[in-house]
Chains A and B, each alone.
Chain A
Amino acid sequence: MLANFLKGSAAAAALSLIAALPASAVDLQFYFPVAVGGGAAKTIEGLTETYMKDHPDVKIDPIYAGSYQDTITKVITAARGGNAPQIAVALSTDMFTLLDDDLILPFDDYAKGEEGKKWIEGFYPAFMENSQFDGKTYGIPFQRSTPVLYWNKDAFKEAGLDPETPPATWDEMVEMGKKLTKTDASGNTTQWGVRIPSSGFPYWLFQGLVIEAGGKLTNGEGTETYFDSPEVIEAAQYLVDLSTKDKVMEPGILDWGATPKDFFERRSAMVWTTTGNLTNMHDNAPFPFGVAMLPEKAQRGAPTGGGNFYLFKGSSDEQLEAAVKFIEWITAPEQSAIWTKATGYVAPRPATWDTETMKDYAKGFPQVLVARDQLQYAKAELSTHENQRVTQFLNDALAAAITGQKPVEEALKEAQAKADQVLAAYR
Chain B
Amino acid sequence: MSAFDRYLWNGGAALLAALWIAPLLYAVWTAFHPSAYEAHFTLTAPLTLENFVKAWNAAPFARYFLNTFILVTGITAAQFVLCSLAAYGFARFSFPGRDLLFSLVLLQLLVMPDILIVENYKIIHAMNAVDTLQAIALPYIASGFGVFLIRQAFMTVPRELDDAARIEGSGPLAILWRVYVPLAKPTYLAYGLVSVSYHWNNFLWPLIVTNSVETRPVTVGLSVFATTDSGTEWAVINAATLMTSAPLLLAFLLFQRQFVQSFMRAGIK
B and A form one assembly = yes
A62 → B minimal CB distance (Å):
10
**Are A77 and B227 also in contact (CB < 8 A) when A1-B74, A1-B141 are?**
no
Within 8 A of A (CB), among B209-263: 211-212, 220, 223-224, 226-233
A257 within 8 Å of B (CB atoms): yes
B129 near A70 with CB under 8 A, answer no
Dominant SS among interface residues on chain B: helix
List B contacts of A256 (CB < 8 A).
Answer: 228
B128 cross-chain contacts in A, Cβ below 8 A: 9, 12-13, 15-16, 19
Is B165 interfacial (CB 8 A cutoff)?
no
- The answer to whether B125 and A257 have CB atoms under 8 Å apart is no
Check A257–B228 contact: CB distance below 8 A.
yes
Which one of B81, B127, B134, B231 lies within 8 Å of A258 (CB-CB)? B231
- The count of A-to-B residue pairs whose CB atoms sit within 8 angstroms is 108
Task: Flag A60-89 by CB within 8 Å of B: 1 or 0 each.
Answer: 010111110010011001101111000000
Selected from B78, B121, B129, B229, the residue in CB contact (under 8 A) with A36 is B229
Whether A78 lies near B223 (C-beta < 8 A) is no
In the complex, A36 Cα to B232 Cα: how many Å? 10
Selected from A1, A8, A74, A277, the residue in CB contact (under 8 A) with B231 is: A277
Q: How far is the CA of A74 from the CA of B131 in the complex (A)?
A: 12
Instruction: Tell me whether A9 and B129 are in contact (CB under 8 A).
Output: yes
Residues of chain B within 8 A of A261, CB atoms compared: 38, 231-232
**B74, B118, B125, B137 — most chain A CB neighbours (10 Å):** B118
Instruction: Please determine whether B77 and A1 come into contact, CB atoms closer than 8 angstroms.
Output: yes
Quick check: is B207 within 8 A (CB to CB) of the other chain? yes
By a CB distance below 8 angstroms, the chain B residues around A73 are 204, 207-208
Task: Given A67-B226, A200-B228, check contact A5 B207 (CB 8 Å).
Answer: no
* Contact bitstring B125-154, A, C-beta under 8 A = 1, else 0: 111111010100110010000000000000
Q: Are A280 and B226 in contact (CB under 8 A)?
A: no
Q: Which residue of A lies closest to B220 (CB)?
A: A66
Q: Is the CB of B229 within 8 A of A4?
A: no
B117 CB-CB contact with A under 8 Å: yes
* Residues 30-57 of chain B, each 1 if its beta carbon lies under 8 Å from chain A, else 0: 0000000010000000000000000000
- B93 to chain A minimum Cβ distance, whole angstroms, is 22
Instruction: Decide: A63 and B211 in contact? CB cutoff 8 A.
Output: yes
| A168 CB to nearest B CB, Å | 26
Which residues, 174 to 215 on B, are CB-close (under 8 Å) to A?
204, 207-208, 211-212
| Contact (A260, B125) CB under 8 Å given A5-B134, A66-B207 | no
B98 at the interface (CB under 8 A from A): no
Q: How far is the CA of A4 from the CA of B130 in the complex (A)?
A: 15
Q: Which residue of A35, A78, A83 is within 8 Å of B227 (Cβ)?
A: A35
**Residue in B75, B117, B125 whose CB lies within 8 Å of A83:** B125
Cβ–Cβ < 8 Å partners of A258 in chain B: 231-232
Contact in complex: B122, A82 (CB < 8 Å): yes
- Chain B residues, Cβ within 8 Å of A2: 78, 81
Q: What 1/0 mask marks residues of chain A from 277 to 313 whose CB sits below 8 Å from any chain B CB?
A: 1011000000000000000000000000000000000
Cβ proximity bits A30-52 to B, threshold 8 Å, 1 near / 0 not: 00001111100100000000000
Q: 11 A-B pairs, CB-CB below 8 angstroms? A: A5-B138, A8-B132, A12-B128, A13-B128, A19-B128, A77-B208, A257-B232, A276-B230, A277-B230, A280-B231, A344-B230
Extra inter-chain contacts (18) besides given A70-B226, A257-B232, A261-B38, CB under 8 Å: A1-B134, A9-B129, A19-B128, A29-B211, A35-B227, A35-B228, A36-B230, A37-B233, A66-B223, A70-B207, A80-B118, A81-B122, A81-B125, A257-B228, A259-B231, A277-B230, A279-B230, A280-B230
Q: Which 7 A-B pairs have the closest CB atoms?
A: A81-B121, A257-B232, A260-B231, A12-B128, A1-B78, A276-B229, A35-B229
List residues of chain A with CB under 8 Å of any chain B CB. 1-2, 4-5, 8-9, 12-13, 15-16, 19, 29, 34-38, 41, 61, 63-67, 70, 73-74, 77-78, 80-83, 145, 200, 256-261, 274, 276-277, 279-280, 344
